[in-house]
Amino acid sequence: MADGNWKEQLLNRRMLICVFTGLASGMPLYVLYQLVPVWLREGGVSLSEIGLFSLIGIPYTWKFMWAPLMDRWVPPFLGRRRGWMLVAQVALLLSIGVLGMLDPSRSTWVIAAVAAAVAFFSATQDVALDGYRREILPNDAELGMGNGIHVSAYRISSLVPGSLSLILADSLPWSSVFWITAAFMSVGIVLSLVVSEPKSELPPAAGLREAIVEPFAEYLSRRGWSSLILVLCFLFLYKVGDNMATALSMPFYLELGFTKTQIGLVAKHAALWPAIVGGVLGGLIIVRVGINRALWLFGVLQMVSILGFALLASSGALLWLLAAVISFEYLGVGMGTAAFTAFIARETSMTFAATQFALFTALAAVPRTLANASTGFIVEQIGWVDFFLLCTLMAVPGMLLLIWVAPWSHSGLRPSSTH
């Protein structure tokens, strides 16, 4: 690829926007899956109950149900994408702050309800952000690079609930910690206010039934039933092993004997540069080898990174090993997620970007929501080492499906169209 094209893809405003979409999108998810489990565990909630808290992520699985409404109806301010982005982000700031005002030992069900609201607003924000990002990235090369940057920023956002908030929790009450964490959603709010609304083709005016059916009918007319079934199976299985392996990462670190400050300073900061390198390097590799081959290469790295957790579980509380395992996990999984997200974006049309993106990412969230709910019970039965070995085996079926959905012989780097 010519140097001019490289500079155009790396140094433009669209890539900078992808940084902020990643930061805004990732923060509320990491609040639910990193900060809340530590808060609950410290409040006396059992490991099995914490595992069941994964069920609050159901909105991530069902967001395609209200995505058609967000594709079709435009808020009275800021436009179709930016208007929905702002509504969700303000709601997230308030609901995350309120969450920390509750008592885990006495208000578990109320906490579950508020956490489910956070998940709903987070999933709604993702629908708007994914549609926006799909519309501003014009071709497969920029989809790869832009989504790589988005994934890097997404993982970097974990440093707020997974590092800063944990450090603050050693000296501040949890209510203050959650409001400080919630304030970081202002990054997304500022983004929504300052960017321009993308020019895109609005779906034709239709009733509620047509608004829901048409996005799926469009995909079927373009790809057919067999492709749809294979793609949906692939989306469900490609990251199931990684999702399960990291579902209880914070309780895992605590049970090994690490303090919250050690987790905040060592585990999370060891992930910072690998997360940046993983997403950006992943995007660069996608530009060079294509989305299909990147899925193969990065999928193997994901599986190897899971084995690192098994090594850590068998070795005990060694800070240097914790840092090494987390660094490699963020590098490999960051690269895999970059290719995975670029693949999803490539499958969508411009007109129904939000709905189709929501459908595919929602299915990808199913294992994180349902399978993760059983992780606490599995660990209690077989122990951490065997659990991580099981997670590695769970990644194999998704890799095998690449033979059909992303064959190595086709690079997957092709001109984009708006369908």
Residue 398, amino acid: G
DSSP class of residue 198 equals P
Q: Where are the domains of the chain?
A: 3-405
Please give the pLDDT value at position 402: 94
CA distance 331 to 12: 24
> How deeply is 69 buried, as exposed, middle or buried, from its count of CB atoms within 10 A (0-12, 13-18, 19+)?
middle
Please give the pLDDT value at position 414: 44
Q: Which of 304, 308, 297 is nearest to 411 (CA)?
A: 297
Token pair, residue 275, equals 């997360």
DSSP class of residue 54 equals G
- Its sign, for the CA torsion 139, 145, 147, 149, is negative
CB 238 within 8 A of CB 301: no
353 CA to centre of own chain = 17
Residue 290, amino acid: G
Token pair, residue 198, equals 């993308």
Residue 331, amino acid: L
Q: Which of 126, 155, 74, 84 is nearest to 336 (CA)?
A: 155
Radius of gyration (C-alpha) of the chain in whole angstroms: 20
CA distance 16 to 150: 9
Mind listing the pLDDT tens digit of every residue in the chain (419 residues)? Answer: 445 555 555 567 888 899 899 999 999 999 988 888 888 887 777 777 777 777 777 787 788 888 888 877 888 888 888 999 999 999 999 999 999 888 887 777 888 889 989 999 999 999 899 888 888 887 777 877 888 888 788 878 888 898 888 889 888 998 899 999 999 999 999 999 999 888 766 666 555 566 667 777 788 888 888 888 898 889 888 888 888 888 788 789 888 988 878 887 776 667 767 877 877 788 888 878 888 999 999 999 989 999 999 999 999 878 889 889 988 988 887 788 778 888 888 888 777 777 788 778 777 767 666 666 778 889 989 999 999 999 999 999 999 999 999 998 875 544 333 33
How many CA atoms does the CB half-sphere of 80 hold within 13 Å? 24
The CA angle 182-86-272, to the nearest 5 degrees, is: 45
Helices (H), 266-418: 269-289, 291-315, 319-347, 353-369, 375-382, 384-394, 396-405
Euclidean distance between the first and the last CA atom of the chain, given in angstroms as a whole number: 25
Ramachandran class of 383: left when φ > 0, alpha when ψ lies in -120 to 50, beta otherwise: left
CA distance 87 to 93: 10
How many CA atoms does the CB half-sphere of 169 hold within 13 Å? 26
Question: DSSP per residue over 13-35, as a string?
Answer: HHHHHHHHHHHHHHHHHHIIIII
Q: Where does 3-405 sit in CATH, by number?
A: 1.20.1250.20
Kind plus residue range of the DSSP H or E element containing 214: helix 208-223
Please give the pLDDT value at position 417: 39
DSSP class of residue 205 equals P
Residue 119, amino acid: A
CB 328 within 8 A of CB 310: no
- pTM of the predicted model as reported, rounded to 2 decimal places: 0.71
> How deeply is 199 buried, as exposed, middle or buried, from its count of CB atoms within 10 A (0-12, 13-18, 19+)?
exposed
